[in-house]
Amino acid sequence: IVMDNYATHKTASVKNWLMRRPRYHVHFTPTSASWINQVERWFAELTRKQLRRGVQTSTMQLEADIRSFIERHNQNPKPYRWTKSADDILASVKRFCQKVQDL
């Protein structure tokens, strides 16, 4: 399981759940890792374009819909690209830091 470093993934209840499942191996991404955001974006697209539009009445049907989406997506794959400039991102971080400082 790949998870970001968000604190909720490290709570006692999550740790206990994982301890009861020794076959699971958790890998945490570095803080602010941008690649995980792209993976999350892909799953959001799967949800929006395929899963919310359909009605899956079984696990087999759900799996078939996911595979169908992957097949269509891979026929004309396009990389996810950042649309903000570095200056825009840094300005956003600065605004956030100012908000936090004012609290």
**Structural domain boundaries of the chain?**
1-32, 35-103
What is the model's pLDDT at position 40? 84
What is the model's pLDDT at position 30? 67
Mean pLDDT by 10 residues, the chain (103 residues): 74 89 83 73 92 90 94 89 77 84 78
What is the model's pLDDT at position 100? 80
Q: Are 54 and 47 in contact (CB under 8 A)?
A: no
Please tell me whether the overall predicted TM-score, pTM, comes out greater than 0.85 for this model. no
What is the model's pLDDT at position 43? 92
Report how far residue 42's alpha carbon sits from residue 50's, in angstroms, rounded to the nearest whole number: 12
